[in-house]
Homo-oligomer: A and B are copies of this chain.
Amino acid sequence: MERVWLERKVLSENDRLAAALRERFAEHNILCLNLISSPGSGKTSLLERTLENFDSGERVAVLTGDIQTENDAKRLARSGFPVKQITTGGTCHLDAAMIDRALQDWHLEDIDLLLIENVGNLVCPAIYDLGQALNVVALSVTEGEDKPLKYPVIFRNADAVLLTKIDLLPHLGVSIRNFDDAIARVMPQPRVFPVSARTGEGLDRWLQWLDEKRIRADL
């Protein structure tokens, strides 16, 4: 019981900070997207391909979270866009205070789209609000179609699911249909983008959706 109470206290402090971030993002017309997945679902590869498709003049910035290493920031920085690594040092999710600190030396007026790559984990990132407008879950087809039912909170709150590594489907004995069915059981308005960062398949639909969200955020 004590533990539940303690967790609630930490979460409500996080919610307060996240609300303040959300207000600042709105003030500066920033669309903030929180990308969540298991370790190794291909979040970083997908972000690399997404950034490649933006013109260099676009006002895009990336925060990328990890327990250890700055590998992802190094990979993403090749895009030329501002990228900052948040190393959590053991914590299994990003929280609003980490985002707040990471933004301190960035000028929010120079950013239209803030992409946050969360720590690889399908549990806690679902309940720590970062002030984002959009939640996107990446799910690799290699993980199996039972994952939406096993981690329902993260899929229930998702605005879109990126079904990644679809180039491996012929070797797996599962189909996109299997995943669609499982996702529809937990996600109120299923929106699934099957993609392959390797072949580029499906990226156009994902980029178009992102564009539409950006236009709407600007209005």
Are B120 and A122 in touch, CB under 8 angstroms? yes
Q: What's the Cα separation between A68 and B150 when bound, in Å?
A: 5
Query: A residues 120-148 with Cβ under 8 Å of B?
Result: 120-124, 127, 140, 142-144, 146-147
**Complex CA–CA separation, A177 to B67 (angstroms):** 24
Minimum CB–CB distance for A12 against chain B, Å: 13
Q: How far is the CA of A1 from the CA of B122 in the complex (A)?
A: 26
Q: Is A90 an interface residue (CB 8 A)?
A: yes
By a beta-carbon cutoff of 8 Å, the part of chain A in contact with chain B is 3, 6, 10, 38-40, 66-69, 71, 90-92, 119-124, 127, 140, 142-144, 146-147, 149-153, 165, 167-168, 171-172
Question: If A39-B122, A120-B122, A121-B121 touch, does A165 touch B142 (CB 8 Å cutoff)?
Answer: yes
Chain A: interface secondary structure? Answer: loop
Contact B66 A150, beta carbon cutoff 8 Å: yes
CB distance from A156 to the nearest CB of B (A): 11
20 A-B pairs besides A68-B152, A90-B153, A168-B172 with CB distance below 8 A are A6-B10, A38-B143, A39-B122, A39-B143, A68-B149, A69-B146, A71-B146, A71-B149, A71-B150, A90-B127, A92-B92, A92-B121, A92-B124, A119-B123, A120-B150, A121-B121, A121-B122, A121-B123, A142-B165, A168-B171
5 intermolecular pairs with C-beta atoms under 8 Å apart: A40-B143, A68-B151, A69-B149, A142-B142, A142-B168
Residues from chain B with Cβ under 8 Å of A69 in the complex: 146, 149-150
Within 8 Å by CB of A39, from B150, B153, B168, lies B150
Q: Are B120 and A38 in contact (CB under 8 A)?
A: yes
Q: Which residues of B contact A10 (CB under 8 A)?
A: 3, 6
Chain B residues positioned under 8 Å from A143 (CB to CB): 38-40
Query: For A123, what are the chain B residues with a Cβ–Cβ distance below 8 Å?
Result: 67, 90-92, 119, 121
